[in-house]
Every structure is written in C-alpha cells, then in structure tokens.
Chains A and B, each alone.
Chain A
C-alpha cells in the first residue's frame, strides 16, 4: 500500500442512496469530520426501512431506531443532504472523481417552507402513494411521510396539474410562507469527491409476474410491504388491518372500518428461488414473514394465520429463537408452498401440500399475503455503467471477491454497501454501510493530510439550510 500523501486527493465522499446503509455510511464518515454528500433520489432519506412497522427479531419499531439517525444526518455539520436528485455521470480517477448530479426541483423553497400542510389540503389532485406501497392516496404536493428528512413539501411533476397543463396553482396561492415556486427548474450540480459509496438498495419483486398467485386480480391478495404499511400506525388505516376495496374512481384502497379479516395465509418465496424469475434466495423473507404473522396475531389475537414455506431460513443471531417463539404463538407453519390462489364465494381459496403430514390442504382465507423477494433497483444497470463497475449474473452489483470481499468493486474508490450488493437484513446492511465507510476512511487517511476541516461557505454547493 502506498504511503504517499496525495495533494490532489479529495477527502469528500459521495454516498448514493439514503437508505439505512447509506445513512450509516454517511454518519460514520461524517463523524470523523470528513465531508459527505448524501444523494437521494426521492424526497426523503430513510429508504425501505422507513416503511416497516416492527423489525425482526427484536420487534423494535423501525421508525424509532431509524428516525434519530435520519435526524442526525439532517443536522450533521459534515453531511450535505441532496434529495430529489439523481446521478448523471461519474468521471475521473480514484481520489479525483468528478460527479454530475441532476437536482430535480421540488418547486418548493425549503428554506422558507414551514411544513404546515395547507398546500396539500387544498391540492385537488390525488395520486397513488408510493410510500404506502399503493395502499393509499396522496396529493400532488406532498411530504413522503410525516417523519421525512428533510421535513418539507415537494411537488410531483408527473401528476401536478400546473406542471402538466399550466392550470391550477392553488398551492402557491394558499401557502402562508410563499414557499411554492411553481416555475422553478431543475439544475445540474458538479461535485468533486475522492470516494463513492453506492447504497442504492432494492425494489420488491413485482408479484404480478406470477399469475398463479392472482396478485392484482383480487384486492385482498397483498404483498408483504402492503401489509407492512397497513399495520403501521402511520399507514392508510392508522394501523388497523382491514379488507381492501374499491373507491369511486376504481382505485383499490384500504379504509378504516372496512371490516376485519379473520384468516390469513402467508406464502413464502414469491419470485425467489425460482428458475423462471429470480434464482437467488432473498434472505429476509422467511424472517419478515414470521414477523408479519406475529404482528397480525398481535392486532387480531383470534386470527388464524398459516404460513406456507419451502425451507425456514432463520439463520442470524436470535433468529432461530424468534422462529420458536412464533411457533409457540399459534401460527400454523406448513412446509409446502401454496401453488394457487383462486376466488370462491368471496373467500380466497388456496391449495397446498402439507409435506410433513402428507395431505392436501384446501383452505379458504380472507387475506393472502405474498412474501415477495428483493430485486435490484431499476437504475442498477445505468448506475453500474456510470460507475464502470460490473453487475453479477444475479443482477446485483458485483463485489470484488464473492467469497471474501463484499464492499470493494472492480473499480478503486467505488464501493457498494447494503442491499444493492445483494439482499440482506438491517443488521447486515448497517454493518456493511460501516464497512464501506471504513474503507473510505482508510483511503482518505492514507492520502490526505488534514482530516476534519470545516466545510467552508463556498463549498456549500447545494443550499440546504439546517433543519432547525
């Protein structure tokens, strides 16, 4: 390893992706008083973890352990948060990368916005809420979720009437702080960084691809993430588990008081371990399925919950014990994955083979939950090309040593962390975020003499004011 100190080495780091891995990496680096630019595609950091209700195996509330880290990121002197933006290009060499970022405009001046919410109240356009996994509707001007960081509004250009047709503009009229800037435009920013960490996460498998489970055909066939949002206190029904039905416009939504399902089936390995879809194991579904079974029983103690699985993968610290616990809570765990979901007499009918007890199970349930796997996010190919790194046969970013090095890529100075390297749970994502940060710190300390210089005003390329 070279020992020379490099005058042209930028100590700043770009972290792409504001999920838990990106957040962890940013905090680790920033706590060493080295600057981090945290780039996030959506209007808030938090990633998928912000959507969860409780996390396995300890059943900690996800928001409780995530939001303080989010706040720390938002308030950190050494982290520059760039949200609602995407990466355009990467050029240069390790230690001297030049990155171009497209900062989509929020059309809301976040320095001035007080987060009162009057704009959203008055906005006439309702849009399917992607944070709630499509289980509810939001407005075209919105905050992704109440604890978002930054906790400011933004306008969805694809659905905003003004942006699409020049009409409306109600939000600008009613805003008491004059924060709405309907005509502002996107801008391009250029940054110079020494290292880049890709922590772009995953997307859930689209269950519509598998006809036999009838997702999208019957409203009460849900994905695990949809159930997660339903159970969450900040979800569409305030945490009540209800049937899904159609509203006047034909949208499928959940509403409070819509009736409580009494029987549930959870089907494992939807899209994973499947030669026709994704061959790999998504690693977290067995555990989250057990967790969802527990949460259902917690909300509806008399509920009948059956889980249909192939192998039960409870491998981590405390995971086997959690599995034992769920078994003792009266959840029926059946080895034998359900083949088909059909509708009959208003119930959902399933057919499964109970392998251990050697019989066919034909059960009728109120609600079916599909434990969908994890897939690489949509922009994985694009990002890999930009960064000049490879993608593995399984579609995830390829790490340098498949048996012995998970964070390095084939390109020096570009690291990967979290689910974008391969499906993983929160503890492993956090550890990997820190691991990637460690490599960055090592690179920086090796190459740059002073560590810990304050961010100078001229380097505030993106004007994000302090949260408070």
Chain B
C-alpha cells in the first residue's frame, strides 16, 4: 500500500458555513490527524482560486487523497472530481464531508456545530484512506429520443430534436396532439391565435420523417438507463422502442372547484371555470346556460391556488389570462360590465404589465379580495341586477361589496396530473409535495432530473404558460442533442459487484433492488449485478446476509472506518 498523503480543505462557503462553524479551528484540528499532510480553509473552495490552490498543493506535496469539507456532494462532488483529474489524481480518491447542509444549515450553536464538523471531517479522513481508484465508464447513446406527452412542450421538444435530424418517438395518451394549448383561443399578451400556432406544429410533426407519433398510448414500463432505454408499447400495437433519452412533457390539469363551497360550482348556473370559458371563446360566442348573453361577467382569481385548504402555490398564468379575458370579452361584448376580483395582480411577464394597463381602459372594475382568509361568496340574487350576486369585503376600499354577475369565471389552479405519482415511479424520478416532477436543481439544472437521461419540461414540472413551456422544452433538447453529438455518455462508477464465492443464492438482493439491476444466474446459483443499470444505492449490500455484495466506494470497511473516525476521541 502506498503511503497515504491526505490534503484536507475546509470551505467557508462565504458566510454560509463560516458563520456557524469555526472553519479555521476545524482546519487546525485536522493537521494533527494521521496521514494528513496539509489542512487549510478557504472562502469558496469550488471557485477557480480555490481549486487552483488544491491542485497546486497536490503537486507540491505529492498528495494522493483529498478531503473537502463543504456543501453537499450533490452540488459539487462532480466539480471536485474534475479538479482531481486535472491534478492527475483519480477522481474517486476524494471524499467530501458535508458541513453545510448537515451542520451549518441545521445547527445554530457555534461550539456544537464546530465540534460536529470536526467529527465529520475526521470520519471523512478515515474513509478516504480506503478509497480505491475507479475508472470512468461510458456507454453509447442511442440517437432516438422518447417524448412523453403531445402538448406544446412535448411537440416543441420533438420538433427541435427531429429538425436536427434525429429520430423521435412521440407518445400521447389521448387521441389528439396539442394538449391544453389546443383548447386556448388566444395567447397573452399579444392575442396571437393559439389554434393557428398549434395546428402548424401538429402539421409539422405529422409530416416529419423523423417523428413517429403514437396516439392513444401510455407508457407502462421503462427499463434501461441513460443512452439505452427501452419500452414495449401495448394498446394493440405491441412494438418495442429503444431510445437514448426521455423527455417527460405530460403536462398539468385544471383544478375542479366543486369542493369550494363559496363558489357553488356545479350548483349555481353559469359559474364556470376558465377552461370552460376558453372553449366559449374558441367558438367566438359568450353565452349563458340558457342561451342569452351575459351583461355582467365576474372573474375570480386564485381558485384553488394560494390557499392552504387547496393548493398553497401560485399557478402563475391565471392573472395574465384573466387580463386577456377582459380584452376578449370587451371585444366580443363592448356593453358588458366586467368585474375582475383578484388578490395580487401578477402580470409579470413580458408585455403583461402593458396588458394590465390597457385592460383598464375597458369597462372593467378591479376588486381585491383576501385569498387566504375570506373568499367571495356566490349566491342567487334576489334583486334584479343579475341572476347572481358575489359578496365579500373589498380590500382596496375596505367596504363590504356586492357584485352583480350573470356569469362567474373561476380562474382555476393548475395541478399535477392525476397519475403524476405513478408516472414518476415508472420513470424513476421524484415528485414534490404538490406532485409536480422535481428538477435536479432549480437554478443549476432546471430541466434535468436526478435520473440521467430523463428530462421534465412544461406544466408537469410546475404550472406555466405557453412561452415558458416552449423555452423549457428547448432547454431539455440542448442536453439531449449534446449527448447524441458526443455519442457516448458517462455513467455511474460506484456500483455493486457480487463476490460469487460468498453468495449463497438467497436472492434477497434481487427483491430489494429498486432498479431491477440484479439478476439470478441459474447455472451458478448466484446473483449478478448489471453494473450498467446499477445506481450504487447500496441497498443490496446492506441486505446481503453473507456480505457477498461489495458496494464500490462505500464498502463495509470504508464505512466502518468513517464511523470510527467520527467517534474517535483524538
């Protein structure tokens, strides 16, 4: 065994870590540890000068193991591994101790936090001594892409990839392409006809030699890994598809407000949702249930949004859409009175504030309500102004008001699809508490997921409008086209392997593997790990009763050494 020469680096992370942890003390404590040649701290270890410092030290002091105490490895382990390569060291001879998310972000007592940081770094020092050099592994990338969902996001992604000359399989569960946008009359802020735009895209897709469309189809199972996914389509087709990347563009659905008592949706006539209103606009006629034209139209924002009883989040597009409705109603029926009942006017997009200013020039009254505590109540009107009356405390005047309405349009929230959770499980990605798909990192990587090769775009990631969905869909294709251009992609190295001599063939590992990466070799009666499917989660290694499965980079010995380091007194 070569002589271990460890370099220890404690990151300040600006004030993120240094505010709570005495980083200089930690660095100092480590200088006395066994095999530690050098121990320092620096403000931003991941930055250029930070990395340069480590690389120089490696060369100058012939370091062969590195410990970096900083933020979560999820953020910068890759960064530092690249740095190791530049310095001529194998990237896996690095161990990170998380003293931000696990220390400075969760503790406030400086002494306690510093002590905990010291313990974690000592553990890392112990573990890294037993790291082995691991070689990078690459797999080929199948040039085809699977796009799940034929809405505007899915179609954009499909077209962008196909126009680059690469094959796309476009899966759509309904019998039509176009998604929600196909049922929109005009887009905000410029009133471009959505139907024209959608129709054009559908035509391009249908005529495209590189896009194969499968309507009335749902994906039931996906197997494989980045660059090499496959699925078999059912629904009467029975066709096997192979592809290298997946774009999930399964969209969102509208909230049905029948649970909101105040609005009497489904109980009183002419109380409709924005989705239903959009369909009226498509026909070019705004008509009540009884066929007559309404004289008083009320629009209520935040239906099902921004309220703990339904959804806490904001659905982003409803305010701009309501402003669009004001314009459209005024054009179709100039004599009608419009009442826009809102909580905050969130017309933030390009051209949308101007839409708000110009909407005010029409025959509209803007009224403010408290969407958290005091919803307007829609009732039958005993007076003669209109068939319905809406009562609430208006915030800008402080008065209790009554709003006459022949028609009430509820701007309903956008929520995740009914089957979002089950779809996420099919594809092996995570959902957040609102069942929207989780991106890898909201800023660093807003369209990728923690599963390599799978991207989430459009409404299924969070509520958004057409233009933002298009940008997101394009963003995903950048990564996909790049991986196709590179022809190979790097995959996980820290996988599990079976030492066949020790394996007793109990198959416990197979039953616990979440990635179906382990198979049973009948002839030898032992388990075998497909190291390409394996994600290195370690479940099998901990389940194995004989210790036959060895998890690379997280061996029992390495982990026990780490624990020993954490608990040691010196």
Tell me the A residues contacting B by CB distance below 8 Å.
Answer: 1, 3, 28-29, 31-34, 53, 55, 57-58, 60-61, 63-65, 67-72, 74-75, 115, 146-149, 151, 232-234, 239, 273, 275, 279-281, 283, 311-321, 324, 335, 355-356, 358, 394, 396, 401-407, 421-422, 426-428, 430-439, 441-442, 445-446, 451-452, 467-468
Contacts and interface: CB of A to CB of B under 8 A. Distances in A.
A390 to B, nearest CB: 14
Given A317-B462, A428-B471, A32 B481 contact: yes
B486 A403 contact: no
B73 interface: no
A34 B486 CA distance: 10
Top 10 A-B residue pairs of the complex, sorted by shortest distance between their CB atoms: A434-B475, A435-B474, A32-B482, A147-B47, A438-B478, A403-B187, A422-B350, A32-B485, A445-B164, A317-B462
Contact of B187 (A65, A232, A404): A404
A321 B312 contact: yes
Contacts, number: 253
A335 B370 CA distance: 12
A434 B462 contact: no
A394 B350 CA distance: 9
A316 B444 CA distance: 16
A403 B75 contact: no
B444 A315 contact: no
B393 to A, nearest CB: 10
23 contacts: A32-B483, A32-B485, A64-B16, A64-B76, A71-B79, A72-B79, A147-B49, A232-B14, A280-B350, A281-B348, A317-B436, A404-B197, A406-B470, A406-B471, A426-B443, A428-B468, A435-B472, A439-B160, A441-B164, A442-B160, A445-B484, A452-B487, A468-B86
B75 A431 contact: no
Contacts of A147: 44, 47-50
B190 interface: yes
Contacts of A279: 353-354, 357
Contact of A431 (B14, B44, B446): B446
Contacts of A318: 313, 442
A58 B440 CA distance: 13
A31 B445 CA distance: 14
Interface in B484-499: 484-487
Interface in B16-72: 16, 18, 43-44, 46-52, 55, 71
A442 B163 contact: yes
B485 A34 contact: yes
A58 B348 contact: no
A232 B13 CA distance: 11
Name which of A71, A151, A232, A239 has the most chain B CB atoms within 10 A of its CB. A71
Given A283-B348, A315-B316, A427-B443, A355 B396 contact: yes
A234 to B, nearest CB: 7
B395 interface: yes
B486 A452 contact: yes
Nearest to A321: B312
Contacts of A234: 14, 43
A403 B466 contact: yes
Nearest to B192: A403
Nearest to B438: A317
Contact of A61 (B13, B351, B353): B13
B442 A58 contact: yes
Contacts of A356: 395
A432 B48 contact: no
B485 A402 contact: no
Contact of B474 (A31, A283, A439): A439
Contacts of B189: 402-403
B398 A65 contact: no
A467 B165 contact: no
Which of B48, B165, B197, B352 has most chain A Cβ within 10 Å? B48
A64 B79 contact: no
B167 to A, nearest CB: 13
A386 to B, nearest CB: 23
Contacts of B467: 401, 403-406
A103 B306 CA distance: 51
B196 to A, nearest CB: 10
B518 to A, nearest CB: 32
A437 B478 contact: yes
B201 to A, nearest CB: 10
Interface residues of B, number: 85
B485 A317 contact: no
A396 to B, nearest CB: 7
A115 B56 CA distance: 14
B43 A146 contact: yes
B447 interface: yes
Interface in B81-119: 82, 86
B113 to A, nearest CB: 16
B396 A28 contact: no
A438 B79 CA distance: 24
B55 A468 contact: yes
Interface in B291-329: 305-306, 312-314, 316
B168 to A, nearest CB: 12
A456 B499 CA distance: 47
Given A317-B461, A436-B474, 7 more contacts: A151-B49, A281-B352, A320-B313, A401-B197, A404-B197, A430-B446, A441-B477
A403 B14 contact: no
B482 A64 contact: no
Q: Which of B82, B189, B479 is most buried by chain A, counting CB atoms within 10 A of its CB?
A: B479
B569 to A, nearest CB: 33
B104 to A, nearest CB: 11
B188 interface: yes
B470 A31 contact: no
Given A32-B481, A406-B470, A468-B55, A67 B46 contact: yes
Point out which of A28, A313, A403, A427 has the most chain B C-beta atoms below 10 A from its C-beta: A403
A71 B348 contact: no
A280 to B, nearest CB: 5
A446 B348 contact: no
Contacts of A436: 474
A146 B49 contact: yes
B166 interface: yes
Interface stretch (B123-131, B339-347, B379-387): B339-347
Task: Identify which of B47, B188, B476 gathers the most chain A CB atoms within 10 Å of its CB.
Answer: B47
Nearest to B342: A311
Given A67-B46, A435-B471, A441 B478 contact: yes
B425 interface: no
A138 to B, nearest CB: 17
B85 to A, nearest CB: 11
Nearest to A450: B485
Contact of A149 (B48, B82, B314, B473): B48
B160 to A, nearest CB: 5
B547 interface: no
Contacts of B484: 445
Nearest to A283: B348
A335 B343 CA distance: 12
A445 B165 contact: yes
A84 B157 CA distance: 36
Contact of B482 (A31, A148, A422): A31
Nearest to B370: A356
Given A402-B190, A404-B466, A431-B472, A441 B482 contact: yes
A402 B351 contact: yes
Given A61-B13, A63-B47, A146-B43, A28 B478 contact: yes
Contacts of A402: 189-190, 192, 350-351
Contacts of B398: 358
Contact of A396 (B75, B163, B350, B470): B350
Contact of A451 (B161, B192, B485): B485
B71 A64 contact: yes
Nearest to B395: A356
A336 to B, nearest CB: 10
Contacts of A273: 353
A407 B471 contact: yes
